[in-house]
Amino acid sequence: MKCIRFALLIGLVFWGSRSGFAAVQSGRMEKGVFQAGEHLRLRYLLATPPRPSHRIFLFVHGDGDTCAPMDVEESMRDLSRVADQDYWVLPETAHQAFCNSGGYRRLNWVHRYGETVGLIRQFRNDPRFAHFQIYMVGHSAGVDVAVRVARDHSEELSGMVLISGMVHGLKDSTYRKLALDGERSGASKETIEKRIERKKQLFWLIESRCDVRRFDWLDRNNLFWCQWFQGDNLVDLLDTPRDLPIFLMHGDEDGVIPFEESKITYARLRREKWNVEFLPLRGMDHNAFPFPEGVTDQISLWAGRYSRVR
């Protein structure tokens, strides 16, 4: 009998390790990896809750996360301390490549898009997690990724949480900034209009050569143009299904992306009958970590009320 029990135990451990979820314990932060292709290993960090639910929050952080040792790990440890009920997952492959190369101008969001979609598919193919509800969570520039994943793969998701992102419309915000900068510098109206027109032409050139949906880690030409792509998050939000729950959160002391960006978007989505909630984060600046006390609880409560059935 002891031999049978031992054999069963070894079998379970081996089965769990194949998907990268070996030795997952409640209330801890674990590292894992999925072999997603012959040359692609998707690495991630997993914060496991002491009271596990059947929800996974796939968290895409912003560009500001540094490559300092343990910086990202510390962020996830913070999540593992405050997340009481839900699994939180942080994609790590694109960030590691960014840091290993010495850092580019910014994280290539197209790589992050493909990585996130790949992780969702791997979770769906794992028999233990196939029935879980998966939510996209984006912070700052991570909102760009979260919105486009939700637009293109909404059938896999139960909702999305957008924290301190530029969701009012990147292009509108860019044109508005050009106009304000021109006025401050004393530029003429004609000069300002020419600058805006040049920016519009640049956007058109990039968009005509970048196909976000045709993602391939080795397609350097497409990735070159896509890394300069500046889409419009509001337009993409309006392309998601109306029954996909959206939770907007924004710090009211954000000095990087104005609090009003989320406020304006919330009013627009409410007016057009989207399933959306908005939570001002009192006293929070642009940084997501450490999470203000109770934020993950608010996210769990929201997900419990508005989860979308796949």
* Tens-digit pLDDT profile for residues 76-93: 666 666 566 788 888 876
The pTM is what?
0.72
Write down the mean pLDDT value for the chain. Answer: 73
d(C-alpha 303, C-alpha 289), whole Å? 21
pLDDT for the residue numbered 87: 82
Query: Is the peptide bond preceding residue 245 cis, with omega within 30 degrees of 0?
Result: no
Q: pLDDT tens-digit profile of 122-176? A: 888 888 788 899 999 988 878 888 988 998 899 999 999 999 887 655 566 677 7
Beta sheet of 246-251, edge-to-edge order = 28-37, 40-48, 87-91, 55-60, 133-139, 159-163, 246-251, 276-281
At residue 213, does pLDDT exceed 50? yes
Q: What pLDDT shows up at residue 244?
A: 93
